[in-house]
């Protein structure tokens, strides 16, 4: 029996009655539908037709769409749903995680760099206010992964850094604020990303900490979120061998599963050791980290059988729904386990008050909340407090047109065919520098190799400053976030840094000193939004001081990076 009056649900008798009555009135097919949280990538009518002709999902997730479309989607979904839906989004940085007009207050690592717990609360508040304005009620956040391995290509700025205590405090602050605002938080990605240097989107990754160190770091962060009343937890496609072996002595290596398929992780560690009573949702089951672990026909029902309450996304919805129903029929998912999962789903909805009626949404009202001046001001404040001067060559800063009229401008961006929106920031920064009165030339590598490069003295005698701007962002489905120097022979490496003052700015990834250790002035921004660009200019020119505290080892453990 699940205690629905206890944390995190705290349901009143009438709410519990709704849960029990609703469950009792469901068919097996309806219960199976509740297990699915489906993706509405563009929130278009044809997506709703496709999904609701197959099943009646318990929840859904929006990708980023315009405000008006998000509201129309919420109204459409409610009109089709017998049981009110959970509506989620990746609210990791601000309302920009659900609507195109939303505010990016700050990446978690940017928040952490402020060393101000109040900024985590403000970011969570903006997330909840802007998401609820379009009908969302579930935040797939906070990320309480710990960025202990600088080579990890997916955690990075999505985390609150590498200090477990700071991650714990800021994760808890997010949970408390977003749930105070009426959304369910989801502490993720259990049992914890950031240890491995691989991306769970592409491979089943591993958290390889021993049990006690894990409990004092990742476990402490999860415990804090649970104590704060987090309604949901998201389990990743991440193995934790030490705890698996402690909870299941003698288990064979080949039987150790990622969290999403591990009874030891979900029931033994998360529910048993940590005492979590809320809803457990898998991470996206379209990831290779999930599909590589087990045949999908078996994996779909096994995730529920082994402890998950909700199944995120589908490779083929009709097929996966069929696999789930077959798993119920075959007894992989017992009637008791099915009812337990659906009970927690319904209890989460009741805890959010969804059973009391659909939200009253108004486009014009939403537009006064989404991207509002208050949230933009918080984003500006966050950028001001976060931008970090990691290392400085004495006397190089500030940068003014009087000191450095001519700048040679190097950009490090995604390769051709990469995500185009990331390329906007460097161009914006260049234009802002020109507006300040600098003369900017872009570095263009010569087409030939040794013996044909531009004369060394032509560069040294013609430029007052070299400015590197890197804009390489962490994102899913990549194996590394590293600088790829231009041809021929690393043409844009720091060939002139010993003769021309050189400044390196990273707009996103904080770890570029691994590839450019000897650059003497290095700055981390953690985000590439307009607020960070504005505050960067203010600090480069000396109109504002650098206030950020690096939440990670930006030197990547390299002694030469300190030179």
Q: Are strands 522-524 and 388-391 parallel, antiparallel or unpaired?
A: antiparallel
Contact 50, 21 (CB under 8 A): no
Rounded to 5°, angle at Cα 145 from 294 and 147: 110
| DSSP code for 94 | B
In three-state secondary structure terms, 435 is: helix
Determine the Cα–Cα distance for residues 415 and 420; give it in Å rounded to an integer: 10
Nearest to 64 by CA among 88, 36, 28, 35: 88
Contact 123, 72 (CB under 8 A): no
Q: Are strands 279-282 and 388-391 parallel, antiparallel or unpaired?
A: unpaired
* CA distances in angstroms from 512 to 33, 148, 477, 509, 517, listed in the order given: 46, 16, 20, 7, 8
**210 counts as catalytic:** no
Catalytic residue among 163, 199, 283, 384: 283
- Which helix (DSSP H) or strand (DSSP E) does residue 24 occupy? helix 13-24
| DSSP code for 186 | E
Nearest to 273 by CA among 210, 194, 215, 344: 215
Scanning the structure block, which residue is given the tokens 């509740």? 34
CB-based burial label for 182 (10 Å; 0-12, 13-18, 19+): middle
CB count, 10 Å around CB of 378? Answer: 23
- Which helix (DSSP H) or strand (DSSP E) does residue 470 occupy? strand 465-470
Q: Is the peptide bond before 495 cis (omega within 30 degrees of 0)?
A: no
In three-state secondary structure terms, 391 is: strand
| DSSP code for 267 | I
Residues with active-site annotation: 283
């Amino acid at each position: 029996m699940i205690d629905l009056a206890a944390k995190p649900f705290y349901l009143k008798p009438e709410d519990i009655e709704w849960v029990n009555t609703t469950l009792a009135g469901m068919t097996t097919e309806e219960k199976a539908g509740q297990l699915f949280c489906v993706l509405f990538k563009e929130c278009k009518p044809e997506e709703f037709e496709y999904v609701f002709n197959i099943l009646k999902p318990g929840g859904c997730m929006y990708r980023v769409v315009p405000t008006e479309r998000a509201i129309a989607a919420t109204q459409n979904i409610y009109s089709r749903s017998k049981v009110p839906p959970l509506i989620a989004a990746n609210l990791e940085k601000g309302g920009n995680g659900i609507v195109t007009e939303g505010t990016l207050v700050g990446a978690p690592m940017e928040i952490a760099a402020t060393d101000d717990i109040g900024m985590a609360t403000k970011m969570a508040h903006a997330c909840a206010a802007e998401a609820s304005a379009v009908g969302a009620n579930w935040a797939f956040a906070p990320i309480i992964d710990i960025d202990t391995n600088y080579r990890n290509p997916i955690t990075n700025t999505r985390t609150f850094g590498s200090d477990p205590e700071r991650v714990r405090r800021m994760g808890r602050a997010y949970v408390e604020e977003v749930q105070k605002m009426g959304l369910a938080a989801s502490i993720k990605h259990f049992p914890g990303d950031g240890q491995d240097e691989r991306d769970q989107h592409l491979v089943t990754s591993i958290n390889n900490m021993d049990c006690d160190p894990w409990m004092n770091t990742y476990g402490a962060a999860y415990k804090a979120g649970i104590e704060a009343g987090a309604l949901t937890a998201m389990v990743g496609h991440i193995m934790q061998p030490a705890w698996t072996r402690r909870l299941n002595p003698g288990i064979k290596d080949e039987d150790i599963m990622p969290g999403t398929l591990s009874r030891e992780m979900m029931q033994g560690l998360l529910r048993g050791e940590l005492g979590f009573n809320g809803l457990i949702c898998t991470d996206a089951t379209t990831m290779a980290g999930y599909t590589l672990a087990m045949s999908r026909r078996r994996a779909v029902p096994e995730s529920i059988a082994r402890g998950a309450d909700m199944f995120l996304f589908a490779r083929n919805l009709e097929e996966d729904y069929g696999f789930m129903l077959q798993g119920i029929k075959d007894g992989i998912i017992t009637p008791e386990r099915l009812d337990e999962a659906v009970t927690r789903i319904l209890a989460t909805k009741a805890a959010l008050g969804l059973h009391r009626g659909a939200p009253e949404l108004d486009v014009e009202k939403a537009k006064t909340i989404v991207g509002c001046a208050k949230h933009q001001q918080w984003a500006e404040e966050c950028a001001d407090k976060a931008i970090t001067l990691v290392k400085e060559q004495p006397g190089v800063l500030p940068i003014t047109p009087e000191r450095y009229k001519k700048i040679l401008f190097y950009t490090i961006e995604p390769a051709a065919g990469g995500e185009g929106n990331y390329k906007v920031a460097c161009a914006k920064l260049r234009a802002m520098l020109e507006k300040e009165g600098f003369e900017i030339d872009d570095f263009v590598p010569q087409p030939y190799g040794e013996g044909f490069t531009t004369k060394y003295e032509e560069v040294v005698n013609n430029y007052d400053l070299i400015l590197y701007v890197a804009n390489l962002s962490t994102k899913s489905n990549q194996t590394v976030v590293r600088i790829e120097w231009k041809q021929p022979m690393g043409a844009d490496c720091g060939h002139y840094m010993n003769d021309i003052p050189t400044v390196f700015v990273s707009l996103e990834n904080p770890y570029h000193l691994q590839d450019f250790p000897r650059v003497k002035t290095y700055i981390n921004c953690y985000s590439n939004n307009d607020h960070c660009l504005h505050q960067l200019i203010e600090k480069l020119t000396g109109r504002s001081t650098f206030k950020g505290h690096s939440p990670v080892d930006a030197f990547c453990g390299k002694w030469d990076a300190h030179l």
